[in-house]
Amino acid sequence: MLSRVAERLYWLGRYLERAEGTARNINVNTHLLLDLPKGTAFGWEPLIFIMGGEELFFQHYRDAGQQNALEFMLADPRNPSSICSSLQQARENLRTLRDVVPREAWEKLNHLHRYANDHYAQAIGGRSRFPFLTQIIDGCQLITGLLTGTMSHDEAYEFVRTGRNLERADMTTRIIDVRSASLLPKHTGDLAPFANIQWMSVLKSLSAYQMYRRQVHVRVSGAEVLRFLFQDAGFPRSVYHCLGEMQQSLSALPRNEVPRRYVMRLKRQVGEAIVQHLAHEGLHEFIDNLQVALGKLHDRIRATYFLTEAPAPNSRSLAA
Amino acid sequence: MDTCDANHVMERAPAAKQVTMAIDWEHYDIGAGYDELVEAPGRPRAPAQPLCRYLGSLTRSEIEERKSAAELAIMTMGITFTVYTEEGGSIDRAWPFDIIPRIIPSHEWMRIEAGLKQRVKALNLFIDDVYHQQRIVKAGVFPQELLANSVNFREECVGVDPPHGVWAHICGTDLVRDRDGAVYVLEDNLRIPSGVSYMLENRLVTKRVFPELFEHYSIRPVDDYPSQLFDMLASLSPRPADSPAIAVLTPGIYNSAYFEHAYLAQQMGAELVEGGDLVVGDDDCVYMRTIEGFARVDVIYRRIDDLYLDPLGFGTDSKIGVPGLLRAWKAGRVALANAPGAGVADDKAVYAFVPKMIDYYLGEEPILPNVPTFLCMNTQEREHVLANLHQLVVKPANASGGYGMLVGPHATATQRAQFARLIDHDPRNYIAQPTLSLSTVPTLCETGLAPRHVDLRPFILSGSENYVTMGGLTRVALRQGSLVVNSSQGGGSKDTWITDEV
C-alpha cells in the first residue's frame, strides 16, 4: 500500500472519531450546564481549553459566550477540529481513497458532511442542539460500522482502525478532563450532591453508563468511573481498550517494531496506574501526560509508515 | 443560429383539475435544426418512440420526482467537478445532468466507430512519423512550419519507440451533428482527455431513475470501459511476463478531473498516485513509496500535462511531477499513457490535416469528415476569416476546455476587433470554422422541455488492440441557444444510448 494512502486512511479514522468525540464533548457540557444550580455555571471556556483550541479561539473571538463557543466548535472553518472541519477533512481524505474504501462509506460521509453544514446553525441556539449532536454521533457510528462490516480487514483497514483508536483514546481523556479540577471550585458543601450527577453525565456522554452499571455494581463514584474509563479491558472507549486495539492493528502491519513496542509500553503504564486517587487531585496532570504519550505514539507511526521524504532507491538498497 | 422559445413551449393552459401531462411532444418545437430524438413536432424518430411515449405518459410531478431522484443520486454518489474562477479560487460543483437520454441507433454507431478507429490509427502513425523520419513533411503533405511552431512538439521525444508504435493510447474525439444530420469531427483530444467517468456514472444514474426503460430497450452497455482500459495499459508493460503494476498519476485532489482519476483507478484496481509517491531509481526504474518500502511500477496512466511530468526532463519547476520520469520512459523501463509528445497532434491547426493523414498513411478515404477549417497561417484563408468574423467560430490552436474562443455571431463588435488583433499578432495559433448549427436533444430546463445543443465525446483506446466506447459522453449546452458544452462553461451532460433495432 502507498505510504500516502496509509496516511490518509489513518487520518480518515482520526477525523471521523474527532467529529464524534467533539459532539460527545459538547453534549456532556450542555448536560452539565443544565444540571448544575444557577450561579455555578462555568460556561464554555473550559471546554475550549480542553479541546486544545484556546489560542486559536481568542485570535478570532473576544468572549467565550455560548454563541461564540458553539460556533467555534461546531462549524468554524478556521478551527481544524470543529465538527464541520473534521467532517470536511475526513471527506477530503476519503475522497482520495475511493479505490480502497467501500463506496457506501463515501456516500454516507457526503451525506453527513452536508447535514452538518446545513443544520449546525440551529444547534447553536439550544433546542435543536441535542438532535443535531445525536445525528452527528449516529452518522459517525454508521460509517465506522459500515467500514467494520464491509471493508476487508486488511492493512488498509488497520490504518483506519489505528487512527480511530488513537483519536478515541485521546477524546476519552478529554471528556474526562471536562470534569477535572479546572471546571469547578473544589466541591465542598453545596455542590457535593451534584458530584455524582457530573460523573454520570461523563459516563453517559461516552455511552458508558449502562456498561459501567453492568460491570461495576456499586454506586457511581469518581474513583470507579475513572478506573472504568481508563482501565477497563472490555469497554470500547476506555483508554486501555483503545491501546489494545492499536496493538492488534499494528501487529498486522509490516515493519511494526517501533510503534508496536511503544503502544505496548503505554498500555502497561495505563493498566498499572493507580487512578482511584486521581478523582481528588492530579487528574489533569495525568491526562496531560497521557495526551503527550499519545502524541509520541502518533510520531512513531508517522515515522514508520508515512514519511514520504525517504531517499530514492539505488541499486544497492534494492538488492538488500 | 437556431434558438427556441422555451417559454412558448410551456405556456399552454394546463387542463384544470386534471392530471396534467408534463411533456407534450406536439408542442416540442425544434425550429430549423436537427433534433436527435424528434423529427418534427409530435413525430419522434423511430428509435426514440418508446422513450417519448413513456416520457409523455408521466405527470408533471412524476417528472419532478425523476429529476430529484437523479439529483439525489448525483449528490450521494459525490459526482463533482471543479471550476476555476478568474479570481483564482476553485469550487466543487455537482455534475449537471439531464435525465432525458440521447439515442443513436447501432447501425449508425457502427459507421462512426469505424471512422474513429481509422482516424486514431492515422493520428498515431502521424505522431510516430513526426518523432522519426517526418516522411509526411518530406512528401509535402504536411507543412514544416506547423511543426516548427507547435507548442506541443517535444524535442525530448525524438527517436523514442513506445510499445506498438502507439503514442495516443487514450483519445477523446469530439463529434457534432449539423443541420443536415451529418456527423463531423470537431477535434481530437490526445493529451489527457477527460469525461469518461461521467459517461459511466450517467448510465448508473439513468438506471436508478428509469429502470423500467431498460426493460423495453436493448441498450448496449458502457461499463466495460475500465477493464478495456486496464487491458490496454497492461499491453504496454515493459515486463509482459509478470502481472503489471499499473498506476494512475494525478496532479491531486484540486485538479478539475480528480474525481475521474480516482474513479478510474478504483475501477481498474490500479494505484492512484501523486508525483510525491513516485521516485526514479538509478536503475531507471520507477518506484512507489509504500508501507513496505519501494515497489516497482510498470505502466503509468498519467493525467498530468507533459511539461509538469518531470521537472528534470523538461526543465520546469513542476512540483507535481516525478524527477527522472522522462529518463525512465526513454529507457523503456516504464510505459507512459499517453506518451509524452502525443499532444503534437492535438492542435486545431494540425487537425485540419487529418483527412490528408488518413489518405497518406492508410490510403483510405476518411469515413468521418472534418468540419471545414480555415488556417489563419495561410494569408488567403486569414483574410477570409478577418472579413467574416461575424459568422465564424475562432479558436486558439492549443487551448482546450472552451476557453479563449470567439463565437462570431454571438460576439460584440469589440470582441471581434480584439480577436482580429489576436489573429494578426499570432496567425499560426488561430483557426476558424463556420458556425455549425449543432443538433439538439430535448432537455428539461427551468421553463420546461426545450431543445438544447449537444456534442458527443467517444473515447478510443489504442494499445496492442483498438477499442471505442459504446457511444460516449454527450455534453449539452444548458443555456438556451448556447453552443458551448464544456462543463467549466455552464454545460451539462446526458446519458447516451446505442440501441439495437426494436
Half-sphere exposure of B114 (CA within 13 A, CB side): 9
Contact criterion met (CB < 8 Å) for A308 and B283: no
Q: Which residue of B has its CA nearest to A318?
A: B294
Residues 6+ apart with CB under 8 A from A292: none
B81 touches A: beta carbon within 8 Å: no
Domain co-membership, B96 together with B6: yes
Which residues of chain B lie closer than 8 angstroms to A155, CB-CB? 291
Per-residue pLDDT for B484 more than 90? no
Measure in Å the smallest separation between the Cα of B77 and chain A Cα atoms. Answer: 6
Q: Which residue of B has its CA nearest to A109?
A: B76
- B320 lies in some domain: yes
Chosen domain end from B333, B359, B393: B333
* Cβ burial A111-136 (10 Å sphere, 16+ → b, else e): bbbeebeebbeebbeeeebeebbebb
Please report, for the domain that includes residue B397, its CATH number: 3.30.1490.270
Contact criterion met (CB < 8 Å) for B269 and A99: yes
Low-confidence ranges of chain A (pLDDT < 70): 38-41, 179-195, 307-320
Angle between helices A83-95 and A103-125 (to 10 degrees): 170
Q: Which residue of A has its CA nearest to B294?
A: A313
Does B338 sit behind a cis peptide bond, omega within 30 degrees of 0 on the bond before it?
yes
- Structural domains in chain B (count): 3
Domain co-membership, B143 together with B214: yes
Percentages helix, strand, coil for chain B, rounded to the nearest 5?
35, 25, 40
- Of residues A1, A2, A313, nearest to B279 (C-beta): A313
- Of residues A5, A254, A312, nearest to B281 (C-beta): A312
Which residues of chain A lie closer than 8 angstroms to B258, CB-CB? 95
Q: Which residue has the cell 486558439?
A: B396
Domain co-membership, B72 together with B107: yes
Per-residue pLDDT for B365 more than 80? yes
Per-residue pLDDT for B232 more than 70? yes
Is residue B349 within 8 A of residue B361, CB to CB? The reply is: no
- B281 lies in some domain: yes
Domain co-membership, B365 together with B394: no
Q: Which of B4, B5, B115, B46 is nearest to B502 (CA)?
A: B46
Q: Which residue of B has its CA nearest to A304?
A: B291
B266 touches A: beta carbon within 8 Å: yes
Contact criterion met (CB < 8 Å) for B270 and A99: yes
- B32 lies in some domain: yes
A&B contacts, CB < 8 Å: 78
- B305 lies in some domain: yes
Share of chain B above pLDDT 70, in %: 90
Measure in Å the smallest separation between the Cα of A164 and chain B Cα atoms. Answer: 19
pLDDT of residue A290: 95
Least confidently predicted of A298-312, B185-199, B376-390 = A298-312
Domain co-membership, B183 together with B297: no
Chosen domain end from B434, B464, B486: B434
Question: Mean pLDDT over residues B34-54, rounded?
Answer: 94
Length of chain A: 320
Measure in Å the smallest separation between the Cα of B215 and chain A Cα atoms. Answer: 26
Contact criterion met (CB < 8 Å) for A2 and B289: yes
DSSP B301-314: EE-S-HHHH-TTTT
Q: Which residue has the cell 455494581?
A: A217
DSSP A115-139: HHHHHHHHHHHSTTHHHHHHHHHHH
Beta strands in B10-154 (DSSP E): 38-40, 43-44, 80-84, 90-94, 97-105
In what order do the strands lie in the sheet containing B293-297?
B278-280, B286-290, B293-297
Half-sphere exposure of B282 (CA within 13 A, CB side): 8
Q: Which residues pair with B280 in a beta bridge?
A: B286
pLDDT of residue A192: 59
- B410 lies in some domain: yes
- B111 lies in some domain: yes
Which residues of chain B lie closer than 8 angstroms to A114, CB-CB? 75
Helix (H/G/I), strand (E/B), else coil: A20: helix
Residues 6+ apart with CB under 8 A from B107: B501
Contact criterion met (CB < 8 Å) for A314 and B281: yes
Domain co-membership, B359 together with B425: no
Q: Which residues pair with A255 in a beta bridge?
A: none
Q: What is the 3-state secondary structure (H, E, C) of B358-406?
A: HHHHHCCCCCCCECCCEECCCHHHHHHHHHCHHHEEEEECCCCCCCCCE
Contacts within 8 Å (CB) and 24+ apart, B93-97: B95/B198, B95/B201, B95/B487, B95/B492, B95/B493, B96/B478, B96/B487, B96/B491, B96/B492, B96/B493, B97/B70, B97/B202, B97/B205, B97/B492, B97/B493, B97/B494
Contact criterion met (CB < 8 Å) for B76 and A312: no
Q: Are strands B286-290 and B80-84 parallel, antiparallel or unpaired?
A: unpaired
- Of residues A98, A110, A313, nearest to B281 (C-beta): A313
pLDDT digits (tens, 9 = 90+) for A78-109: 999 999 999 999 998 997 787 789 888 988 99
pLDDT digits (tens, 9 = 90+) for B201-230: 999 999 999 999 998 899 999 999 999 999
Interface confidence (ipTM) of the complex: 0.74
Q: Which residue of B has its CA nearest to A255?
A: B292
Q: Which of B425, B419, B482, B412 is nearest to B454 (CA)?
A: B482
Which residues of chain A lie closer than 8 angstroms to B82, CB-CB? none
Q: For chain B, what is the mean pLDDT?
A: 88
Domain co-membership, B107 together with B214: yes
Measure in Å the smallest separation between the Cα of A305 and chain B Cα atoms. Answer: 5
* DSSP conformation class of B271: E
Q: What is the pTM of this model?
A: 0.77
How far, in Å, CA of B348 to CA of B398, rounded?
7
CB atoms near residue B386 (< 10 Å): 18
How far, in Å, CA of B26 to CA of B494, rounded?
23
- Of residues A3, A96, A315, nearest to B253 (C-beta): A96
Q: Which residue of B has its CA nearest to A311?
A: B279
- B341 lies in some domain: no
Domain of residue B402, residue span: 374-434
Q: Which residues pair with A180 in a beta bridge?
A: none
Q: Are strands B430-434 and B466-468 parallel, antiparallel or unpaired?
A: unpaired
pLDDT of residue B1: 32
How far, in Å, CA of B302 to CA of A41, rounded?
59
B253 touches A: beta carbon within 8 Å: yes
Domain co-membership, B211 together with B177: yes
Domain co-membership, B391 together with B474: no
Domain co-membership, B359 together with B303: no
Measure in Å the smallest separation between the Cα of A257 and chain B Cα atoms. Answer: 13
Q: One-letter amino acid identity for B43?
A: R
Least confidently predicted of A297-301, B6-10, B370-374 = B6-10
B277 touches A: beta carbon within 8 Å: yes
Measure in Å the smallest separation between the Cα of A313 and chain B Cα atoms. Answer: 5
Residues 6+ apart with CB under 8 A from B485: B402, B453, B454, B455, B475, B476, B477, B491
Per-residue pLDDT for B18 more than 50? no
Domain co-membership, B379 together with B395: yes
Domain co-membership, B393 together with B458: no
- B293 lies in some domain: yes
Chosen domain end from B394, B418, B434: B434
